[in-house]
Amino acid sequence: MKEVVAYVARSHGYSERRACSLTRQHRSTQRKPSTRNPRLEIRQRMHEIVQTRIRYGYRRVQIMLRRDGWTVGRNLVWRLYREEGLALRSKRPRRRKMVVHREARCVPKRPNEAWSLDFVHDQLSQGTKFRALTVVDIWSREGLAIEVGQRLKGRHVVEVLNRLVR
């Protein structure tokens, strides 16, 4: 909550008193320094466990920490696990593919390094359905192509991508 008050004060130019009253937090809470132990060693060990065992949730991580000699409870492990952003998806994909969730996404550094494509579908007032294939450059957010038709097949996607590459 301290971060919220600091953000409101910084971004809107409010005083600390005004920001505290807007977020309904006592000023004494805002001013009191945190005495909470950051537990950096446990966090580091959790990251090591998660890197080697990708599908482990916080319960299995707690068991592994206990085996290593740490005396940690489940609630503490859950809180640190969430704060570090290690949480897995709670719902499995339908196709039962093994998905790695902790890999860093490709961040393009220049135009035409990475594209994103998607199908959009809608229906006209007469009831005629149509689909649109959209291709967007991720770096510049520029729309590179929109292919519209009633039935777009795989060969249409290949034609559009080949045209863009040329």
pLDDT tens digits, residue range 18-66? 999 999 999 998 888 878 888 999 999 999 999 888 888 899 999 999 9
Tokens in use for 111?
A: 């135009």
Q: Which long-range contacts (CB under 8 A, 24 or more apart) does 68-76 make?
A: 70/42, 70/45, 72/42, 76/39
Alpha-carbon torsion, ordered 24, 29, 35, 39, to 10 deg: 10
Do residues 18 and 67 both lie within one domain? no
Domain carrying residue 96: 40-103
State which of 57, 80, 103 marks the end of a domain. 103
Q: Which residue has the higher pLDDT, 85 or 100?
A: 85
Rounded CA gap, 85 and 78, in Å? 11
> 29: Cβ–Cβ under 8 A, 6 or more apart, which residues?
1, 2
Local confidence band at 103 (pLDDT 50, 70, 90 cut-offs): low
Question: CA–CA separation, 84 vs 64, rounded Å?
Answer: 17
Same structural domain, 51 and 97: yes
Please tell me whether residues 51 and 23 are part of one structural domain.
no
Report the domain count for the chain: 3
Same domain (yes/no): 58, 83: yes
Q: How many CA atoms lie within 13 A of 18 on its CB side?
A: 9
> What does the DSSP 8-state code read for residue 128?
-
Q: Quick check: is 110 in a domain?
A: no
Residue with more model confidence, 166 or 91: 166
| 49 and 79 inside one domain | yes
Q: How far apart are CA 131 and CA 124, in angstroms?
A: 11
